[in-house]
């Protein structure tokens, strides 16, 4: 889970502790929403480096960097109150959102692109007759897949 291909730890000690601390929530959310737990970990790594208090320049919050309005909407779907800096809530909400994007677009890579840039970003790309991953999300998708492969 948090080891390199040779069996040796691939993360600094402090990072391994942060990663290990949220694995029960990652596993539970991944199972609940039928997504790859490595993908959830990959998103968390790319979005926040497992810093539960992370804030993005555009107003995103927490481990999976949710926008406040998105977190509120997801909280309603989960029957919870929005707590973007609570690791459990953030992982459940982010995993639900990712699951919805993958189902909506029928593809993990397009789902990741929608997670990153919003579903409108992907729809606009598709309506323009373009195929594959939208330009603004290609590097993001590659980073998430590379991080996923480390878990």
CA 132/CA 125 separation, integer angstroms: 9
DSSP state of 9: B
Among 8, 28, 47, 142, the active-site one is 47
Q: Could you confirm whether 47 is annotated as catalytic?
A: yes
| N-to-C CA span, the chain | 5
Number of helices (H), then strands (E), in the chain: 7, 0
| Catalytic residue set | 47
């Amino acid at each position: 889970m948090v080891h390199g291909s040779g069996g040796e730890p691939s993360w600094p000690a402090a990072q391994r502790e942060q990663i290990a601390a949220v694995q029960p929530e990652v596993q539970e959310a991944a199972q609940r929403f039928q997504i790859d737990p490595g993908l959830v970990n990959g998103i968390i790594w790319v979005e926040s480096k497992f810093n539960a208090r992370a804030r993005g320049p555009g107003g995103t919050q927490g481990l999976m960097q949710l926008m406040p309005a998105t977190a509120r909407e997801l909280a309603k779907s989960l029957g919870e109150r929005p707590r973007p800096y609570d690791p459990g809530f953030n992982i459940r909400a982010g995993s639900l959102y990712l699951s919805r994007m993958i189902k909506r677009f029928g593809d993990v890579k397009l789902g990741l692109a929608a997670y990153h840039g919003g579903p409108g970003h992907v729809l606009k790309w598709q309506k323009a007759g373009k195929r594959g991953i939208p330009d603004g999300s290609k590097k993001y998708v590659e980073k998430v897949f590379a991080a996923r492969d480390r878990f």
